[in-house]
């Protein structure tokens, strides 16, 4: 982060937008990656003598407080990671926020309650959003945008507030953008993209854009069944997006014409029901073109895991978004593990491996991989995808004006 445009921040109140949207089990944080990633910017500003006021969202509350979306557990964890107390305001721009901000000494840090408890934050009405942004801006002297995971959202704390205060890009946003640029501008070849996750419809823009850039595209996860069906295979009870079949056919044709290799799994791990608490998984491996009518695919098979690893071996640039299967269930986690392992080998051989997305990041950590084994683990899911789609990110554009 280069905060020089803000002048000397000592004694100033700096509002920092972070993405602290972490997975919770009750009030237990199950993956604190995003909190850890937000620490360097907050610490740098606090060390420089700023009074740091962090604003963030958790989940998708509908413009009103809901206990289960409180940032209170996040404030506690942020304090542990910073090694200092973090004052927590129980509202975002109300009496508690004002009192908390007023009570800060130079170098101290506060976190405001979930910004999405306020209807103005996500409002499509510019005036309503602007009025809320005015209130947020009135708490501080300057704004630092560091919530990379939300820069694709035109929301008050991401976009409008930057128009109201002297602003700068935070260290995390700056790093994320630098890495993503290396995936789009003259990537080192071979360049392999691995896509998974449940829906083709979430990945259309990325496939569209990367089909012209990557050398190979490996597809797994729930979205693979729409591709298999598009090739004329039956997929049983597997996840299927009927309305995307033509799109998948068009991608397969385009790849053939442009010489990009699309690799689909040759074998699939199936079961007869989706894994749930009271049913013991009974996995079977079948050829991808012979999925039984009563079965659903839950992971790529072992031969495909090896094929994908072979396709990744020797890659100089890799982008991966979306798990290969239902990795939360051990019996369906091998495909995701095989891909994660292959990415670590790309890193070890000096290539750039990028894991995109909150879910994929949580997946590799829950499978026991160390962050350092990858070139970069992006904190942004939707944001990194939209960047790779070539879309404009409002939270970035606004900083340039």
Of the candidate spans 84-92, 146-154, 204-212, 218-226, the one that interacts with ligand 3PG by CB under 6 A turns out to be 146-154
246 class by beta-carbon count within 10 Å (0-12 exposed, 13-18 middle, 19+ buried): exposed
Q: What are φ and ψ of residue 123, in 5° steps?
A: -60, 145
Q: Which of 187, 358, 394, 395 binds ligand 3PG (CB under 6 A)?
A: 358
Q: Minimum distance from CB of 148 to ligand 3PG (Å)?
A: 9
Query: Count H helices, E strands: the chain?
Result: 14, 17
Cα separations in angstroms, 86 against 108, 109, 141: 8, 5, 20
Considering only residues 15 through 74, tell me which ones interact with ligand 3PG, judged by CB under 6 A.
19, 21, 60
Catalytic residue among 98, 164, 182, 199: 199
Catalytic residue among 34, 77, 237, 337: 34
Cα separations in angstroms, 60 against 56, 70, 93, 118, 238: 12, 11, 19, 11, 28
Question: Judged by CB under 6 A, does residue 149 bind ligand 3PG?
Answer: yes
Of 175, 131, 125, the closest CA to residue 151 belongs to 175
Q: Minimum distance from CB of 30 to ligand 3PG (Å)?
A: 14
CB 113 within 8 A of CB 64: no
Q: Minimum distance from CB of 19 to ligand 3PG (Å)?
A: 5
Of the candidate spans 149-157, 242-250, 296-304, 327-335, the one that interacts with ligand 3PG by CB under 6 A turns out to be 149-157
Q: Which is nearer to ligand 3PG, 57 or 237 (CB)?
A: 57
Of the candidate spans 145-153, 232-240, 278-286, 308-316, the one that interacts with ligand 3PG by CB under 6 A turns out to be 145-153
Q: Minimum distance from CB of 224 to ligand 3PG (Å)?
A: 23
Q: How far is the C-alpha of 129 from the C-alpha of 116, rounded, in Å? A: 11
Cβ-proximal residues to 126 (8 Å cutoff; 6+ apart), any chain: none
Q: How far is the C-alpha of 177 from the C-alpha of 180, rounded, in Å? A: 5
Q: Which residue is nearest to ligand 3PG (CB)?
A: 21
Catalytic residue among 147, 170, 325, 358: 358
Helices (H), 53-146: 72-82, 95-102, 119-122, 126-137
Question: Judged by CB under 6 A, does residue 150 bind ligand 3PG?
Answer: yes
**Do β-strands 28-29 and 24-25 pair in parallel, antiparallel, or remain unpaired?**
antiparallel
Instruction: Detail the DSSP E strand segments found in 21-155.
Output: 24-25, 28-29, 51-55, 86-89, 109-112, 142-145
In the residue annotation, 216 being an active-site residue is answered as: no
237 annotated as belonging to a binding site for a ligand: no
Q: Which of 153, 216, 237, 376 binds ligand 3PG (CB under 6 A)?
A: 153
Question: Judged by CB under 6 A, does residue 203 bind ligand 3PG?
Answer: no
Q: Which two structure tokens, joined as six digits, stand for 205?
A: 């823009």
In the residue annotation, 358 being an active-site residue is answered as: yes
Question: Judged by CB under 6 A, does residue 266 bind ligand 3PG?
Answer: no
With CB under 6 A as the rule, give the number of residues binding ligand 3PG. 9
Q: Which is nearer to ligand 3PG, 19 or 307 (CB)?
A: 19
- Each residue of 111-124: b (16+ CB within 10 Å) or e? bbbbbbbbebbbbe
The site for ligand 3PG (CB under 6 A) is made up of 19, 21, 60, 149-150, 153, 358, 381-382
**Enzyme catalytic residues:** 34, 199, 358, 382
Residues in binding site: 19-21, 34, 57-60, 116, 153, 203, 297, 328, 357-360
């Amino acid at each position: 982060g280069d905060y020089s445009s803000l002048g000397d921040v000592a004694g100033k109140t700096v509002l920092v937008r972070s993405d602290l949207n972490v997975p919770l089990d009750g009030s237990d944080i199950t993956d604190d990656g995003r909190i850890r990633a937000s620490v360097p910017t907050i610490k740098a500003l606090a060390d420089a003598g700023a009074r740091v006021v962090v604003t963030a969202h958790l989940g998708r509350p509908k413009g009103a407080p809901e206990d289960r979306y409180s940032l209170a557990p996040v404030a506690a964890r942020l304090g542990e990671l910073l090694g200092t107390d973090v004052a927590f305001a129980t509202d975002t721009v109300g009496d508690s926020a004002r009192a908390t901000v007023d009570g800060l000494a130079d170098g101290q840090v506060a976190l405001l309650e979930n910004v999405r408890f306020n209807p103005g934050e996500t409002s499509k009405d510019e005036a309503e959003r602007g009025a809320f942004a005015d209130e947020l801006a009135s708490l501080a002297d300057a704004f630092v945008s560091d919530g990379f995971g939300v820069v694709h959202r035109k929301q008050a704390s991401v976009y409008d507030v930057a128009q109201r205060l002297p602003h700068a890009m935070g260290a995390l946003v700056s790093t994320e953008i630098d890495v993503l640029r290396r995936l789009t501008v003259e990537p080192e070849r071979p360049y392999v993209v691995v896509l998974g996750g449940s829906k083709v419809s979430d990945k259309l823009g990325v496939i569209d854009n990367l089909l012209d850039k990557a050398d190979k595209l490996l597809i797994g996860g729930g979205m693979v069944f729409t591709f298999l069906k598009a090739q004329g295979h039956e997929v049983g009870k597997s996840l299927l997006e009927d309305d995307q079949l033509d799109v998948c056919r068009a991608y397969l044709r385009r790849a053939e014409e442009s010489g990009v290799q699309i690799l689909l799994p040759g074998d699939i791990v199936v079961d007869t029901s989706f894994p749930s608490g009271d049913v013991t998984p009974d996995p079977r491996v079948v050829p991808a073109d012979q999925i039984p009518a009563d079965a659903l695919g839950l992971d790529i098979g072992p031969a495909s895991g090896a094929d994908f690893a072979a396709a990744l071996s020797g890659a100089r640039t890799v982008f991966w978004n979306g798990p290969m299967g239902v990795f939360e269930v051990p019996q369906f986690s091998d495909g995701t593990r095989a891909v994660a392992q292959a990415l670590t080998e790309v890193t070890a051989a000096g290539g750039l491996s990028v894991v995109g997305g909150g879910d994929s990041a949580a997946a590799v950590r829950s499978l026991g991989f160390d962050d350092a084994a990858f070139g970069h683990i992006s904190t942004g899911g939707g944001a990194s995808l939209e960047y790779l789609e070539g879309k404009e990110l409002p939270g970035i554009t606004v900083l340039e004006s």
